[in-house]
Structure 1
Amino acid sequence: MAGYTESTEHPVISSLPLSHLSIEVGHFALKDIARDPRGIRAQLTHIAPLVAAFTESARLRFGRGARISTCYLIDDYFQPELPPADIVPKLLAAAADTGVRIDYLARESGCASATRFAGGEPIGEPVPIAEMVAARIVPDPAPPATGGRAPTAESGWLCNGRRSSEHDPAQAMTDRRYRPPEEFGRREHTIFLDVELWSHPNGPGRDKRWSCAFLAAVWHLLRLGMLRDHGAPVLDPLVWVPDDPAEPWPDEWSDLPAVIRLNPAAQPFAAYQTLSMLPKRYIGIEHAVRVILEHLDLDEDVVARTVADGVADGVTVPDLVSERLSHLLLDGS
């Protein structure tokens, strides 16, 4: 196992190169990429100067040598029926036409589990990334405990406080007055959020169907370089070298690595801070992401390593990963 030593019986946290900033350059439905290339170009035309502005801002903050990478997340988890051979060329052509550089192309399915590749072929068992993150969830206690709903590990639901009295079991409702939900750590008034992390569409105990919010949280953790498997990064971006240059993209998403390095000269995929340029409809998802990240017991050694790397780089890295995220919400739906 990578990073394992018998002398310590603890995984050694391997070094991970980090950019100063990772910029996510939009997010489009696959059907829109396939059917509305003009609309995609119009949106990317709007995004291009924003990427340039935030790049310059990062250079002013971190110096002219600031390391900045860009990425795009393909929604193949919820829309697997549209093949990469149809989607990827159209997306990359639109990006090239509008001057939007995409250094890394990632698959949302890779946030659920990632297969390692060697020589362009998948090898070994997939790394269950989403399960690894789910195992680190620590829900807030909600005293007095009522037993009204199963714990997060069983129910797949996580909230940022105490649910209303409607969720109390009947035997606990000695006082029939309604008690509203309560956000822990609120500022005078509550903004209560209850997030579904996964479901079991094929029945209890069957395979989990991860929610968009949970996979988005995993996506941010990957971009921040916070996930390890026995001390080693859970995935390595790979340069994609097609077998047939005339048909560079396969018909199945599973035939592609979780993260592809499109730009050989790109700065590192992971970064101290992320910036996500997303349509406004994702504001609810990103609120849920923050709740999820604030309920994770991340590996302290990984956190400490990242903070120490930041010190060496002249970058102040917050201990809370939720404080390393930033967003720009774009007009339109």
Structure 2
Amino acid sequence: MENVAGYSEATEQGRVSAVPLSHLSIEVGHFLMGELVNGVDQIRAQFRSIAPIIEGCVRSAEIELGCRPRVSTCFLIDDYFRPETDPTMILDKVLGIARECGLTIDYLAREAGCATVPAVTRDGVVITPSIALAEIVRQRIVSEPREWEKGRIPPPTQSGWLCNGTREVTGTPGQAMHPEQQAAPAVQFGRRGHSIFLDVEMSSATRPQVNGRPVPEWSCPYLASIWQLLRLGMLRFHGKPVVEPQPWNPDVPWPARWADMPSVVQLNPHAKPFAAYRSHSILPQRYLEIEHAVRVILDHTYLDPEVVEQVVSRGIDEGVEVPIQVVKRLSHYLFAGS
């Protein structure tokens, strides 16, 4: 049964567990499921262009830190919107092309795992329960107080929408299309001179009900926000990490269903930790809008203060500057192409 109660509740559950941290987590590209299913040329072209970019990222981190950085790489599978696809037809192809291009993928993650973390079992015994992660994080979304003062728009947890500013109506209220009632320009919170206003849809019409309960259809930007929080080691459930990478046995065939895979699989047994102080995402330019939306969502996400303090303090101990705001720990390389 999915668990939705309790984000970390550190004061009630005791000490918040720490997660191993690399200096840098690098996302090595991203494909839509249709691109993974159809052919190999686009996959090969993207991986070939990414390999030298990763070398530059590692070198830059080495210069900044003054030491050999701990770096891990990850790849996110777009299985949330296409769960009917067959992992056995995709994974060996993708990982084989990566090896061919000299690209090491340390961790393989599932986008659906950002919505619901599957239960972990050993010998038929549930070690950790299933966690409705997207629902839990949604309870942490906060809006700017001014947005909802007049009660015209429900808060994000009800509407499924979040914006980075306000809309005001000026003039005298009247009948529809009354010339005296005009919409004023939208105003961005914290703007610098001019506004860049963005409305982000976090969830939409519900999927088929599960056990009589409606299930939201989470948006790509919202799941990408949770993906970033996982990579930064910022999420806990009852004080424990919500995801712990599970080792992959190359002698065991891939399951026939994505749902039978862990949220995060460790492919490289010698990999540095999955989570890191900072994340760097190497993505096609078409993801610019999504990453903008991710930053808006993260700016409105209230994270457990004890987890934030823990990670910042560990950075200080290692001589690594870790900003309190998680959006300042994100960086991107957007390359040309489809």
Q: TM-score, normalised by structure 2?
A: 0.90
Deviation string 1:31-83 (CA, Å, 9 cap, x unpaired) is 22222212211111110100111111112222333100000000000121211
2:24/2:72 contact within 8 Å kept? yes
Preserved contact between residue 147 and residue 169 of structure 1 (Cα < 8 Å): no
Aligned partners of 2:283, 2:103: CA distance in 1, in Å? 15
**Cα displacement (A) at 1:121:** 6.7
Mapping of residues 119-138 of structure 1, within 5 Å: 119=122, 123=126, 125-138=129-142
Aligned length: 327
Task: Give 1:193's aligned amino acid.
Answer: L
Report the CA distance between 1:120 and its aligned residue. Answer: 8.1
CA–CA separation in structure 1 for the residues paired with 2:147 and 2:95: 52
Out of 283-292 and 121-130, give the one that drifted further: 121-130
Residues 185 and 122 (structure 1), Cα distance of their counterparts in 2 relative to 1, 3 Å cut: farther
Q: Among residues 83, 86, 91, which one is paired with 2:86 in the alignment?
A: 83
Alpha-carbon offset, residue 330 of structure 1: 1.2
> 1:93 aligns to what?
96
Check the 8 A contact 1:74/1:107 in 2, yes or no.
Answer: yes
SS at match of 2:76: strand
Among 244, 248, 253, the residue aligned to 1:240: 248
Q: Tell me, what secondary structure is at the counterpart of 2:331?
A: strand
Query: What is the distance in 1 between the residues matched to 2:98 and 2:26?
Result: 14
Percent identical pairs in the alignment equals 48
The CA distance in 2 between the partners of 1:198 and 1:227, in whole Å, is 20
C-alpha change, 1:171 and 1:221, in structure 2 (3 Å) is: farther
Q: Find 2:59's aligned residue among 56, 59, 78.
A: 56
The answer to whether residue 173 in structure 2 is matched with residue 191 in structure 1 is: no
Alpha-carbon shift at residue 9 of structure 1 (Å): 3.2
- Give the C-alpha shift of residue 287 in structure 1: 0.4
User: Residues 122 and 19 from structure 1, CA distance in 2 versus in 1: closer, same or farther, beyond 3 angstroms?
Assistant: farther
Q: Could you list the runs of 5+ residues in structure 1 that have no partner in the other structure?
A: none
- Counterparts of 1:107-126 in structure 2, within 5 Å, are 107-119=110-122, 123=126, 125-126=129-130
2:265 is the counterpart of 1:260? yes
Question: 1:78-106, CA deviations, whole angstroms, 9 ceiling, x for partnerless residues?
Answer: 12121111111111001000001100000
C-alpha contact (below 8 Å) 2:174/2:181 kept by paired residues: no
In structure 2, the residue matched to 1:318 is: 323
User: 2:146 is matched with which residue: 119, 142, 145?
Assistant: 142
Q: Output the aligned Cα RMSD.
A: 2.7
Is 1:211 the counterpart of 2:214? The answer is no
Q: Which ranges of 4 or more aligned residues in structure 1 deviate by more than 6 Å?
A: 168-174
1:23 aligned counterpart, secondary structure: strand
- Offset of residue 152 of structure 1: 1.2
Q: Contact 1:112/1:128 (CA < 8 Å) preserved in 2?
A: yes
